[in-house]
Chains A and B, each alone.
Chain A
Amino acid sequence: MAEATSNRKFRVIGTRPIRHDGVDKVTGRAKYGADYSFPGMLHGKVLRSPHAHAVIKSIKVDKALKLPGVKAIITADDLPEAPNKMQQAGEMAINPSHLSRNILARGKVLYDGHAIAAVAATSPHIAEEALKLIEVDYEVLPPVMTVEAAMKPGAPILIPDLRNNEEGDKQTNVAQHMQFKRGDLDKGFKAADYVVEREFKTAMVHQGYIEPHNAVAIYNNDGQATIYCSTQGAFDVRSLSAQVVGVEPGKIKVVPAEIGGGFGGKTTVYLEPLALALSKKTGKPVKLVMTRSEVLRASGPTSGSTIKIKMGCTKDGKITAAQVWMAYEAGGFPGSPVVAGAMCILAPYDFENLLIDAYDVVVNRPKTAAYRAPGATNAAMASETVLDELAEKCGIDPLDMRIKNGVKEGSAHPAGPPYKRIGYIQTCEAIKNSPHYKSKLEGPNRGRGVATGFWFNAGMQSSATVNIHADGSASVVTGSPDIGGSRVSMAMITAEVLGLEVTDVRPLTADTDSIGHTDVTGGSRVTFATGMAVYEAAQDAVRQLRERAAKLWERKVEDVEMKDGKLTAKGNGVPPMSVKEIASKLGRTGGPITGRASVNARGVGAAFAATCVDVEVDPETFKVQILRCTVAQDAGKAIHPSYVEGQMQGGTAQGIGWALNEEYIYDDKGILRNSGLLDYRMPTCLDLPMIETIIVEEPNPGHPLGVRGVGEVSIVPPPAAVANAIYRAIGVRMTELPMSPPRLLKASLKRGGAADAHSAAAD
């Protein structure tokens, strides 16, 4: 693997070409999952529970089946019983019972919106009418909506056979307890001059992709099936759908359509197994699309959480100890990202004594799914605001506080292993030296806040092939659905290695038959791991090209190299030859050339981001306006800077929404009251300023081009940065998310701030 240095000069990498799929997307030609149609296709709709927690006593479908146009109805009885223990499904480890029961409820419903039955009919409207004719008899149970309620002794039990790793055979709502411990906590706190202890509550939020979930399945008479869907991972759709429906994965081809946003929420399955089962039952293609209300009620948001944190430092600002208790909502089935959150909450700080207790807790809310750096944003809200308080007590600039305590190469990570080369300090310094941070912020009710964040980034498995065509163009085929413009980076890497123009390389995301196993587009891994596979596949093609040139020139292969984008013979005598020139000779020298590579990527580079935000808080309405925002992030090496900037800006925008307005609002019956985009309030164009970006490049030595994943970490700092800014604006330390106007008002009244303002106005 080539040593990555920041001094390397690239021809294509680092430029900003137009993405290859761009024209299709601006003309409406690009096909997303819901755009697919097939002859004879039926439309499916899902019946969903109107109760947060209930026993299903019976389901009667005969009336619905009689409605003209209805072709089939399925319930959990149409799916095989699934074992209740962790198992491999393809490359994923899942609990098949929980997965299956989330797809179609069996025996109990565990959240408002939980799927109970699915109908296939000749039109979506008829399918919807059929839902009203399905009769379900429920025994309603009391809903358990918070981690506190779920953990209380005597709480109603959601999953009767759920056991955790500590309480033996006791029924529980706590699916797992994880702990991280290092050093001597008591000694650490004794050495502290200042200690801050706070409890935080963060609300459940949704990834908010604009495109609802979709799936079209065609189950053929020969038992072979094809699924078209918008997904972040076609291979996982294959394994999971096979598992749920009881079909062999080898009989399923999954074609990933263009995808309208995922952010982690489309790394699992909801509609695909239903479409597959309905197609199997009817012998026709079946299409299902979620409505927005279904997306919010029944796809996976990320956890709301309760986090108690206590941190101590010396008077010159060195952290000496930290203790955390954190419980995350898993939703109706286990699997919150609390363990990841626990491994992130203290990750940027270099100190010895820590204790973290983390709890995965089931509640009557939808089963949570991954959301951009899952678990880390909740965690940073707690740690990065408490650190800000400690900095204030010590009289230290908040960025200096991070730099002083920041991890570097060789520092230990809270879960133990040492960091390799990382850019945390450099990222903090980038903000410190930014025009934004250096500028003065003046005016009443205005404040500036900073915060930082960490995310692991994933390696995992990817495959790639590079085909050299007779005209000297190339195609690069991977299995990574393109959510954010990654395919152009794959073409750029290929073009760089082969000495081609990026417009001579066609990137393609293939279906599960046409490319080797590739893990999800997620975990900030595509440019890193799939990019690594592409790089190696292109190098494999170069190896073969060198052999052909050697044949043509009657030289030894060792004497032929790829230099400055051309095949070159060492010494003199032969003019260099471009790939374009040799391409027409491939047939004569041995046949077509395909470079290939598969990786289980090692050398992952950790991601750090730092965000600075200026806010103004309206003293009467407590609306928070973001005046200015800058985000710095270590990208290792930015292959296509525009798309790296895009990831930074997008994550920041989501973080700001998480900070200010987004939350799931349930009533006392456990019914979701804001299952639409008017009241699940995400940032609009008018809510944000331009988002300034600073790409720090601290090359990752583990990647041939120095790449570090960039997709996720930018969502981690914003809520804490905004909270720190609000403190400086109106003197209130917020410990709840979102920091919406009613909460700011309440906190301000408690502190006496708003009361003063109102009485002053009355004078």
Chain B
Amino acid sequence: MAIVVIPALLRKFTMGQERVDARGRNVGEIIDDLDRQFPGFRPHLVEGGDLKRSIAVSIDGELGTAGLLDKVADASEVHFLPALGGGKDCG
């Protein structure tokens, strides 16, 4: 069971909960599980079958590079963050 930390502006979908349990072997499955628990959640993170480019995922402190395919372990801590990097964020 992974722990997912919900971005502040999306906590309105999780009844204000900051940390939520979710099941899944990769980021995509975690998001599917979140959507099952909190219907309407997925479109905020997923677009066109891929993780939104404005969203980054940190799994146990390491930024993912494979979008929805990044693996998530049993007791992983998953954070969804704004994606930085590219044009405006690389000085």
Verify whether A and B have any Cβ pair under 8 Å.
yes
Give chain A's interface residues, CB within 8 Å of chain B.
86, 88, 91-94, 165, 177-182, 207, 232, 236, 263-264, 267-268, 335-337, 339-340, 343, 368-375, 415-420, 456, 458-460, 519-520, 522-523, 525, 600, 602-604, 702, 711-712, 715
In the complex, what's the smallest C-beta–C-beta distance from A560 to chain B, in angstroms?
Answer: 33
| CB neighbours of A343 from chain B (8 A) | 81-82, 84
Give chain B's interface residues, CB within 8 Å of chain A.
5, 7-9, 11, 18, 53-54, 58, 60-63, 65, 77, 79, 81-91
- B82 touching A264, Cβ below 8 Å: no
| CB neighbours of B9 from chain A (8 A) | 165, 177-179
CA distance A604 to B11 in the complex (A): 28
| CB neighbours of B7 from chain A (8 A) | 179
CA distance A418 to B5 in the complex (A): 12
CA distance A522 to B5 in the complex (A): 29
Quick one: closest A residue to B83, CB to CB?
A93
Quick one: closest B residue to A88, CB to CB?
B53
- B90 touching A267, Cβ below 8 Å: yes
In the complex, what's the smallest C-beta–C-beta distance from A244 to chain B, in angstroms?
Answer: 14
Within 8 Å by CB of B90, from A178, A264, A335, lies A264
Known pairs A86-B54, A264-B90, A417-B81 / 15 extra A-B pairs, C-beta < 8 Å: A93-B54, A93-B86, A177-B9, A181-B11, A340-B84, A343-B82, A374-B88, A415-B79, A417-B5, A456-B84, A458-B89, A460-B85, A519-B86, A522-B90, A604-B63
- B82 touching A182, Cβ below 8 Å: no
| CB neighbours of B82 from chain A (8 A) | 178, 339, 343, 415
CA distance A460 to B65 in the complex (A): 8
Contacts A86-B54, A182-B18 given; indicate if A523 touches B90 (C-beta within 8 A).
yes
Contacts A178-B9, A602-B63 given; indicate if A418 touches B77 (C-beta within 8 A).
yes
- A337 touching B88, Cβ below 8 Å: yes
CA distance A179 to B82 in the complex (A): 10
Contacts A417-B81, A418-B61 given; indicate if A181 touches B86 (C-beta within 8 A).
no
CA distance A59 to B7 in the complex (A): 47
| CB neighbours of A712 from chain B (8 A) | 91
| CB neighbours of B84 from chain A (8 A) | 339-340, 343, 456, 458
CA distance A519 to B87 in the complex (A): 10
CA distance A144 to B60 in the complex (A): 44
| CB neighbours of A86 from chain B (8 A) | 53-54
CA distance A416 to B79 in the complex (A): 6
A-B contact pairs, 28 of them (CB 8 A): A92-B87, A165-B9, A178-B82, A180-B8, A181-B18, A263-B91, A264-B90, A268-B87, A335-B88, A337-B88, A340-B84, A370-B87, A371-B91, A373-B91, A415-B79, A415-B82, A416-B58, A416-B81, A417-B60, A417-B61, A458-B89, A460-B85, A523-B90, A602-B62, A602-B65, A603-B62, A604-B63, A711-B91
- A91 touching B86, Cβ below 8 Å: yes
CA distance A86 to B82 in the complex (A): 14
| CB neighbours of B5 from chain A (8 A) | 416-417
Residue picked from A264, A371, A415, A711, most chain B C-beta under 10 Å: A415
- A415 touching B81, Cβ below 8 Å: yes
| CB neighbours of B87 from chain A (8 A) | 92, 94, 236, 267-268, 335, 369-370
The 9 closest A-B pairs by CB, nearest first: A264-B91, A522-B90, A523-B90, A417-B58, A416-B79, A372-B91, A181-B8, A93-B53, A179-B8
CA distance A589 to B18 in the complex (A): 61
Contacts A179-B8, A181-B18, A415-B79 given; indicate if A459 touches B65 (C-beta within 8 A).
yes
Contacts A180-B8, A182-B18, A417-B77 given; indicate if A340 touches B89 (C-beta within 8 A).
yes
Quick one: closest A residue to B81, CB to CB?
A415
CA distance A687 to B70 in the complex (A): 50
| CB neighbours of B18 from chain A (8 A) | 181-182
| CB neighbours of A92 from chain B (8 A) | 86-87
| CB neighbours of B83 from chain A (8 A) | 93
| CB neighbours of A459 from chain B (8 A) | 63, 65, 85
How many inter-chain contacts with C-beta < 8 Å in the A-B complex? 113
| CB neighbours of A178 from chain B (8 A) | 9, 82
- B90 touching A520, Cβ below 8 Å: yes
Contacts A181-B8, A339-B84, A415-B79 given; indicate if A374 touches B89 (C-beta within 8 A).
yes
CA distance A264 to B87 in the complex (A): 8
In the complex, what's the smallest C-beta–C-beta distance from A486 to chain B, in angstroms?
Answer: 14
Quick one: closest A residue to B65, CB to CB?
A600
| CB neighbours of A418 from chain B (8 A) | 60-61, 77
- B88 touching A370, Cβ below 8 Å: yes
CA distance A459 to B85 in the complex (A): 9
CA distance A264 to B89 in the complex (A): 8
| CB neighbours of A93 from chain B (8 A) | 53-54, 83, 86
Contacts A178-B9, A604-B63 given; indicate if A458 touches B88 (C-beta within 8 A).
no
Quick one: closest B residue to A460, CB to CB?
B85
CA distance A711 to B90 in the complex (A): 10
CA distance A458 to B65 in the complex (A): 12
| CB neighbours of A520 from chain B (8 A) | 86, 90
CA distance A368 to B84 in the complex (A): 15
In the complex, what's the smallest C-beta–C-beta distance from A611 to chain B, in angstroms?
Answer: 17
| CB neighbours of B77 from chain A (8 A) | 417-418
| CB neighbours of B11 from chain A (8 A) | 181
CA distance A181 to B5 in the complex (A): 11
| CB neighbours of B8 from chain A (8 A) | 179-181
CA distance A302 to B63 in the complex (A): 26
- B81 touching A525, Cβ below 8 Å: no
CA distance A337 to B60 in the complex (A): 25
| CB neighbours of B79 from chain A (8 A) | 415-417
In the complex, what's the smallest C-beta–C-beta distance from A679 to chain B, in angstroms?
Answer: 24
CA distance A381 to B89 in the complex (A): 19
In the complex, what's the smallest C-beta–C-beta distance from A287 to chain B, in angstroms?
Answer: 24
CA distance A212 to B19 in the complex (A): 48
- B65 touching A370, Cβ below 8 Å: no
CA distance A598 to B13 in the complex (A): 39
CA distance A267 to B90 in the complex (A): 8
In the complex, what's the smallest C-beta–C-beta distance from A557 to chain B, in angstroms?
Answer: 31
| CB neighbours of A236 from chain B (8 A) | 86-87
In the complex, what's the smallest C-beta–C-beta distance from A285 to chain B, in angstroms?
Answer: 27
Quick one: closest A residue to B53, CB to CB?
A93
CA distance A246 to B60 in the complex (A): 41
Quick one: closest B residue to A336, CB to CB?
B88
CA distance A582 to B54 in the complex (A): 49
Within 8 Å by CB of A419, from B54, B61, B65, B81, lies B61
| CB neighbours of B91 from chain A (8 A) | 207, 263-264, 370-374, 522-523, 711-712, 715
In the complex, what's the smallest C-beta–C-beta distance from A87 to chain B, in angstroms?
Answer: 9
CA distance A493 to B3 in the complex (A): 39
In the complex, what's the smallest C-beta–C-beta distance from B84 to chain A, in angstroms?
Answer: 5
CA distance A92 to B84 in the complex (A): 11
- B62 touching A369, Cβ below 8 Å: no
CA distance A436 to B67 in the complex (A): 47
Quick one: closest A residue to B18, CB to CB?
A182
